[in-house]
Amino acid sequence: MTMDDTLGYEPGRLPVARQAFERRHPEFDTGAVAALRAAEYGRLDALDQVYLDYTGGGLHAESQIEAHAALLRSQVLGNPHSNNPTSLAMTELVEGARRRVGEFLGADPDEYLVVFTPNASGALRLVGESYRFAPGGRFALTFDNHNSVNGIREFARRKGASVTYVPVVAPELRLDRAAMTAELGAADPSAYNLLAFPAQSNYSGVQHPLDLVDEAHDHGWDVLVDAAAFAPTNRFDASVINPDFASFSFYKMFGFPTGIGCLLIRRARRSALERPWFAGGTITIASVQGDGHYLHDDEAGFEDGTVDYLNIPAVATGIDHIERVGIDTIHDRVLALTDWLLEALVGLRHSTGRPVVTVLGPTDVADRGGTITFVMHDADGRPIDDRRVEELANRVNISLRTGCFCNPGAGEVAHGLHADDMRPFFGRSTPVSFLDLRERMLADHDTLVAGIRISVGVASNFTDVFRLLCFLQGFVDRTVDDIGRVEFVSDNCRIVRDSA
């Protein structure tokens, strides 16, 4: 991208900008995948929508819904916990989907259990409540974990294990590897020690080095990899990564179904998990008068009650769709769009030279994914309220996300906050809301402790990201007072859509 290319994000420049982008990124497939967008995601263009929230949730393809509806129309399917014809038919579909998931994730059935859960958070809770934390053991996790991983610390503390957060370092929010190595080396290898980290941060897009798994194993740790933000646009191969546990949400990968995730459990470390209760479907037998129970030693021992059996076959359909597109093709397209976005965002300036956008995380595509979080400042250097940005984006059909993204640690580091800044908000008799927190931080530090997050995915094209820049250019040389006026919204980013 030349300096001239960064000037004037307006509708008339789209063809020239797209040509320059395609010259720079010849790997960006504008043929087959463009046709896929028209055929499978045509509602985006028909409804004039720019969808930039793939880290929040993926989009389903039309063929996924058609295939699943055809399955439900053509078969009689019952609760799988029986041996009648409808139950047996359903069991076959559920177990077929389980095998399909294992194949897609490189999880050999001889090595891994594939446990269906409500989502990645449900998978993480299973590990947290069942892991054999004890005094002398440790729970280590990176600062930039999602709250569903952060919550595991409560299980660890109640069982007497120590809890350590390993920092990420501003401005790129990458892992402090030396601190991680020191923490791993400090553990008693004879105790139960668990390390948890995201393969990709849902805040910064940073992809942490997956060789952490082997390093941790060498020091006697079990490893939980949260792959929820990573798997939608990157190949996850359990046979290479070798995690003890890994969590996924399928709606983030292919949009539908929305109520199913999975937990991979390495069979060799199944004994590190001890379930605190049992439920229907999880036991071989239980007795009221005999006062005992036996848990299944396979996936059933972790799948409480009846699984979402009518939707589970849609997981296999979604995987089929992703494989037809190609996960490597998706990865390459996402990386190309992210590269263009980062350079465009960093280059957006007020006439004074002040940046309009500050990216919270890496500003290049080395070891990062297609998630970008940023903050904005007006021509006077004052922070622009992320909620106002979202409100204005809504009016021109751009879906982005604002707030803290359930990732307080990454946000605290990104905004330069420390323990002394945060501790006063806790231990109170009444809970503090995020709104209370952001107002206090703005008053005390002139800092908005929130961000604006955009993310690209399987159906994203160049017009989507160019249209975002058309919208953001409208903030150039404006003040907070200007931006607050209703007439600030213009039609600048309503441009003719294409299928590239």
76 CB burial (10 A radius; 0-12, 13-18, 19+): exposed
What are φ and ψ of residue 116, in 5° steps? -80, 135
Q: How many CA atoms lie within 13 A of 184 on its CB side?
A: 21
> Where do the DSSP E strands lie in 368-498?
371-376, 398-399, 401-403, 451-455
**Pairing state between β 162-166 and 245-249:** unpaired
User: Whole-angstrom Cα distance, residue 236 to residue 200?
Assistant: 11
Which neighbouring-strand residues pair with 131?
A: 273
Residues 6 or more apart whose CB falls under 8 angstroms from that of 483 comprise: 378, 384, 388, 392, 475
d(CA 93, CA 46): 34
Sheet hosting strand 245-249, strand order edge to edge? 112-117, 261-266, 245-249, 222-226, 193-198, 138-142, 162-166
Residue located via tokens 């446990």 = 115
406 included as an active-site residue: yes
Q: Which of 262, 404, 406, 470 is catalytic?
A: 406
Among the listed residues 204, 242, 240, 236, the one whose alpha carbon sits nearest the alpha carbon of residue 224: 242
First to last CA, the chain: 19
Which among 283, 279, 305, 316 has a CA at the least distance from the CA of 79? Answer: 305
Distance CA 476, CA 483 (A): 10
Catalytic residues: 406
